[in-house]
Amino acid sequence: SPIAVKKICCIGAGYVGGPTMAMIAKQCPHIQVTVVDINQQRIDEWNSEELPIYEPGLHEIVSECRGKNLTFTTDVDETIRDADMVFISVNTPTKTFGVGAGRAANLEFVEKCARKIAEVSIGHKIVVEKSTLPVRTAEAVKTILSNSTTGASFDVLSNPEFLAEGTAVEDLISPDRVLIGGENETAINALVEVYANWVPRERLLTTNLWSSELSKLTANAFLAQRVSSINAISALCEATGADVDEVSTAIGTDSRIGPKFLKASVGFGGSCFQKDILNLVYLCEYFGLPEVAQYWEQVVTMNDHQKQRFVNRMVRTMFNTVSDKRIAIWGFAFKKDTNDIRESAAIYVCRDLLMEKAKLAIYDPQVKPEQMRAALESVMQDENGELNAMKRELLDNNVQYCDNGAAAADDAHAIAVLTEWDEFKDCDFEAIRDSMKQPAFVFDGRNLLKHADLCDKGFTYFGIGF
Ligand code: NAD
Ligand code: UGA
C-alpha cells in the first residue's frame, strides 16, 4: 500500500521552495508543510506581509495557509527529523572557482543538505531532489545518505520544477506535467499521491532517476535555444528588411514548430537558462562529448551577442556617441511580473552604456534601487571583486533611479525598453515625447510598444529584428 505522506519538509525558501510548498499546502490540507532556510531574513519575510518574492497570486495562497498547514522556520534539524518526505530546493549556482569554474553547478549546498538529512534523520524518509541538478547527482545523494549512522533509511526521488517566474502560481496549479524519477515504486507512488490531489494523473510522468534529472536540463536548453534561434534570425532581419515578429508568426503556425517561445528580445535572462546550459556543456565535456558541448554552448554565445548588438545599435543610431546623454531604462527585471533581476539582460546593457559614459535613469515597478545598484556594482567589479575609481564614479554619478517611466524619460535622449511590463504600453507618449530631447529615440528591446503609433507621435523607434 502507498505511503501516505503527512509531513513535508522543504529545505530552501527561495523562488522555487516558497511557491511550490505554498501550492502543496493549499491543495493538500491534510499535509503539514514546513519550509526551512538558514537565511533568517528570508524566513522572516515569508512570515511577514511583504513576501521575499513577487509572484501574482502568491500572497493570497500564503496568507490562506500560513498558520494552518504552512510554516516557515529556521529550525532545520527538528523539521527534517519530523518529516516523512524532505525536498531539497536549495540554489545550485554556476561554480565560480576551481574545477569547472564558470560552467559546472556548485553542488556544495545540495551536498550540505544531504549530509544534514543523514545526520538528523530517524526512521524512513523519502528525499526529493527539487533543485535543478546535473544528471547522476542522485548517486552522490544516495551515497551520503547511506553513510548515516542513525539507523535511518532513505529513498531518493528526482522531481524537477518547471515553473517560470511571473507565472509560478498558474504553472503550479496546472502544470503541463509533473516529472518524478526514482527506483522504488512505493516511494514514487507516495509523491504521485501528493500531486494527484490536484494534478490530473495523466500529467504525472514517472521515469528512472537519470532521465528525470537530465530532462530538466534538457527542457531549459531547448527553451533557451528557441530564444537564441529567433534572436539570431532577428539580426538577419535587421540587415535585410524582414520583420522578425512576422517571421515568428509565420513559422510558429507550423504545428511542428509551435508559436511559443519565439519572441525575439534583447536576450534571455533569469537565474536558470544560462546556468543550466553551461552545466549541460560541462557535463558533455566531462563525459567526453566535445562536439555536443560546443553545440549547446552556442545558445549562450548567441545570447551574449544579442545583448551587445542591442547596445551597439543604440550607440550607432545616436550618432556614435551616448556620452553624457541621459537614457531612460524602462525595466530591469529579467521578464515582467517578477522582481528577480538575476542574469537580467538589463544588467549588461546598463553596464555597457555606462562604459560609454551615458547617464542612466532607471525605472522598474518591482525592483528596488539597492538591488539594481548591487547588480551593477557586481558586474563592473574586476576579478578581485574591486571597483576602480572610474567605475565607482560612473555608478555614483551616472545612474539615477526613478519612480516611473515618464520621470526617467524626462529630458532624455532615448528610452530603452528592457522589460515587457504592461504599464509601459499605457504611457502618455505625447507628453513623454515633449519632455525628451529631439530626435526622441526609443529602442524597444521587447517589441512591446506599438511601432506605427510611436512613429506617428514623432519618435524615432527601433525594435528588435526589423
Ligand atoms: P534561491 O536562491 O531563491 O533559494 C534557495 C534557498 O536555499 C536560499 O534561500 C538559501 O538560503 C537556501 N539554502 C541554501 N543552502 C541551504 C542549506 N544548507 N540549508 C537550508 N537552506 C539553504 O533559489 P531558487 O531560485 O529557488 O532555485 C532553487 C533551485 O531550483 C535551483 O536548483 C534552481 O536551478 C531550480 N529552479 C529554479 C527555478 C526558478 O524559477 N527560480 C525554476 C525551476 C527550478
Ligand atoms: C524558465 C523556464 O521557462 C521554466 O520552465 C523553468 O522551470 C525555469 O526557467 C527554471 O528552471 O528556472 P524563467 O527563467 O522563470 O523560466 O522564465 P522564462 O519565461 O522561461 O523566461 C526566461 C527568459 O527568456 C526571460 O528573460 C524572457 O524574457 C526570455 N524570453 C522568453 C524571450 O526572450 N523570448 C521568449 O519567447 C521567451
Each residue's pLDDT tens digit, 293-346:
999 999 999 999 999 999 999 999 999 999 999 999 999 999 999 999 999 999
User: Which ligand has an atom closest to residue 14 CA?
Assistant: 1
User: Which ligand has an atom closest to residue 331 CA?
Assistant: 2
Q: DSSP of 170-239, one letter per residue? A: HHHHS-S-EEEE-S-HHHHHHHHHHHTTTS-GGGEEEE-HHHHHHHHHHHHHHHHHHHHHHHHHHHHHHH
Choice among 10, 272, 284, 350 that is catalytic: 272
| Cell reading at 293 | 558541448
Largest CA distance in the chain: 75
Q: List beta partners, residue 85.
A: 8, 126
For residue 3, the model assigns a pLDDT of 83
Categorize the per-residue pLDDT at 446 as very low, low, confident or very high, splitting at 50, 70 and 90. Answer: very high
- Of 130, 120, 107, 125, the closest CA to residue 35 belongs to 130
Mean pLDDT of 149-174: 97
Sign of CA dihedral 138, 143, 144, 147: positive
Three-state SS at 363? strand
Task: Tell how far the Cα of 103 is from the centroid of ligand 1, in angstroms.
Answer: 18
For residue 383, the model assigns a pLDDT of 87
Categorize the per-residue pLDDT at 1 as very low, low, confident or very high, splitting at 50, 70 and 90. Answer: low
Task: Confirm or deny that 37 is annotated as ligand binding.
Answer: yes
What CATH topology corresponds to 7-207? Rossmann fold (3.40.50)
Q: Is the CB of 168 under 6 A from ligand 1?
A: no
pLDDT score of 286 more than 90: yes
Task: Tell how far the Cα of 352 is from the centroid of ligand 2, in angstroms.
Answer: 23
In the chain, the percentage of residues whose pLDDT exceeds 70 is: 100
Mean pLDDT of 237-260: 98
In this structure, are residues 121 and 81 in contact, taking their beta carbons and an 8 Å threshold?
yes
Residue identifier of the C-alpha nearest atom 3 of ligand 2: 164
Q: Quick: pLDDT tens for 333-349.
A: 999 999 999 999 999 99
Helix (H) or strand (E) holding 279: helix 273-286
Q: Count the helix, strand and coil residues of the chain and give each as a percent rounded to the nearest 5.
A: 45, 15, 40
Weakest-pLDDT range from 44-48, 52-56, 357-361, 368-372: 52-56
Q: Quick: pLDDT tens for 58-85.
A: 999 999 999 999 999 999 999 999 999 9
Our answer to whether residue 272 is catalytic in this structure is yes
| Cell reading at 104 | 559546472
- Only one residue has cell 491534510, namely 30
Mean pLDDT of 408-435: 98
pTM here?
Answer: 0.96
User: Which ligand has an atom closest to residue 43 CA?
Assistant: 1
Task: Tell how far the Cα of 132 is from the centroid of ligand 1, in angstroms.
Answer: 9
Q: Quick: pLDDT tens for 141-151.
A: 999 999 999 99
| Ligand 2 atom, smallest distance to 338 CA | 15
Task: Confirm or deny that 42 is annotated as ligand binding.
Answer: yes
Q: Is the CB of 334 under 6 A from ligand 2?
A: yes
- Only one residue has cell 530603452, namely 416
In the chain, residues under CATH classification 3.40.50.720 are: 7-207, 225-462
- Helices 389-397 and 369-380 pack at an angle, to 10 degrees, of 160
Measured between alpha carbons, how far is 28 from 334 in angstroms, rounded to an integer? 32
| Substitution candidate for ligand 1 out of 20, 55, 89 with most atoms within 8 A of CB | 89
Categorize the per-residue pLDDT at 242 as very low, low, confident or very high, splitting at 50, 70 and 90. Answer: very high
Task: Tell how far the Cα of 458 is from the centroid of ligand 1, in angstroms.
Answer: 46
Measured between alpha carbons, how far is 328 from 142 in angstroms, rounded to an integer? 52
**So what's the architecture of 225-462 in CATH?**
3-Layer(aba) Sandwich (3.40)
Mean pLDDT of 19-38: 98
Task: Confirm or deny that 462 is annotated as ligand binding.
Answer: no
pLDDT score of 414 more than 80: yes
Query: What b-and-e string marks burial along 388-413, b requiring 16 or more CB atoms within 10 Å of the CB?
Result: eeebeebbeebbbbbeebbebbbebb
